[in-house]
Structure 1
Amino acid sequence: MHELAIAENIVGTACSRAAGRPVRRVTVRIGALTAVVPDDMRFCFDVAAMGTAAHGAALDLDLCPAIIFCRSCQADKRLPDRIPLCPCGSADVTVTTGRELDVVSVETA
């Protein structure tokens, strides 16, 4: 479960940004291609936050779809899964969204 390591980093970042103030809410943008399971992330965040300034903080997840640009179709397409192939069958694609894993905001008391 890689979500625990990610959650520990998120908590560390949030607490660092909070500079000693209690953390109330953390918003994280997560792309579909990161293989992060939202429910697992929420659970791991709560575990990682125990005993820190982020203990009891809410975790908001902004889930981003996987979007590719297909050079064959010359169009943006949403991927139905994590395999970077265009629905037309072309593998000549560029991933434009879906790899995000960013702390967007930290709300403190």
Structure 2
Amino acid sequence: MHELALVQELCALATAAAERHGATHIERLQLRLGDRCGVDADALRLAFAVVQQQQAWQHTHLELELVPTRCRCHRCGHHFRPVDVIHCCPRCGGLSHELLEGRELELVALEVA
């Protein structure tokens, strides 16, 4: 489960950022998580619950914004959400596309006290 290592690194980065701003407590972490980024949202929540058992993180809230995959067809320019493993444009049937959203793994906000 690489999500635990990911959460540990995220917490280390958040702690360093909070310390740079003189904060003593992190209230909330807000992440954007694309459904094609390779990270399982439930496993990430579970990993965060493990990290929350440490004193410094007991009162920190993890907020996940799940970002669905969105593509743009190179042939006709149509924006669509793929429904299959093969991303076929529903308008023209084209198979060549650009992935616009869905790979995100971003720390969007850090609320400190």
- How would you bin the TM-score normalised by the shorter chain? 0.7 to 0.9
Residue 95 of structure 2 aligns to a residue whose secondary structure is coil
Asked if the contact 2:27/2:61 (under 8 Å) is kept, the reply is: yes
**What CA distance in whole angstroms lies between the structure 2 residues aligned with 1:40 and 1:84?**
26
Q: Match for 1:45: what amino acid?
A: F
Give the superposition deviation at 1:21.
Answer: 1.2
Q: In the alignment, residue 5 of structure 2 is paired with which amino acid?
A: A
Cα gap change, 1:108 to 1:12, in 2 (>3 Å): same
Distance between the aligned counterparts of 2:47 and 2:64, measured in 1? 13
Instruction: Judge conservation of contact 2:78–2:89 (CA < 8 Å) in 1.
Output: no
The more displaced of 88-97 and 64-73 is 88-97
Root-mean-square deviation (Å): 2.0
Of 28, 31, 53 in structure 2, the residue corresponding to residue 28 of structure 1 is: 31
Pairing 1:43-62 to 2, within 5 Å after superposition: 43-51=46-54, 53-62=56-65
Alignment of 1:1-109 (within 5 A): 1-19=1-19, 21-51=24-54, 53-80=56-83, 83=85, 85-88=87-90, 89-109=93-113
Alpha-carbon distance in 1 for matches of 2:105, 2:83: 19
- What is the letter of the counterpart of residue 72 of structure 1? R
Identity %: 31
- Contact 2:88/2:94, CA 8 A, preserved across alignment: yes
CA distance in 1: counterparts of 2:65 and 2:3, whole angstroms? 15
Number of positions where the alignment pairs a residue of Structure 1 with one of Structure 2: 108
CA distance in 2, matches of 1:52, 1:103: 22
Scaled by the length of structure 1, the TM-score of the pair is 0.84
Bigger CA radius of gyration = 2
How does the TM-score come out when normalised to structure 2?
Answer: 0.81
